[in-house]
Amino acid sequence: MNKKILVIDDEESIRILYHDEFSQAGYLVRTAATGEEALELVSQDPPDLITLDIKMSGMDGIHFLRMLRENFGPIPVIISTAYGEFKHDFSVWASDAYVTKSADMSTLLRTVDSLLT
């Protein structure tokens, strides 16, 4: 059975890129533009892994991560953000991995594979 990934990012281009790359790698992919939308998707059908942007309008990624951990337990989360300075922020330590966004998807794909195998 294919593993399910939920991509949460407010940038449509990132959602499309990640959807295409993860789908080509054999994963089932859903996307969400907001933390609120993502919580609804998780409650309907929990994914095997989540990629999560930090800076989003409405509920930011850190608040989403806190809500996820309180309500849904240990779903692996990869923080995927353009902002490297958050790597040392204590509030993101509840994630399982931290990857800085790049046009080169190899690091993110390796991280996903390592968490799902």
Task: Give the domain CATH number at 52.
Answer: 3.40.50.2300
pLDDT tier for residue 55 given thresholds of 50, 70 and 90: confident
User: Looking at residue 77, what is its pLDDT?
Assistant: 94
pTM score, two decimals? Answer: 0.89
User: Looking at residue 88, what is its pLDDT?
Assistant: 53
Is a pLDDT exceeding 80 seen at residue 56?
Answer: yes
Helix (H) / strand (E) containing 97 = strand 97-100
Q: What share of the chain is helix, strand, coil (3-state, %, to 5)?
A: 45, 20, 35
pLDDT in tens, 35-47: 999 999 999 999 9
Read off the pLDDT of each residue in 8-19 and give the average, rounded to a whole number: 95
Longest dimension (CA), the chain: 37
Q: Which amino acid is at 78?
A: I
CB neighbours of residue 34 within 10 Å? 17
Q: Determine the structural domain holding residue 89 and report its residue range.
A: 4-116
How many domains does the structure of the chain reveal? 1
pLDDT in tens, 75-95: 999 988 775 555 455 555 557
Residue 28 CA to chain centroid, in angstroms? 14
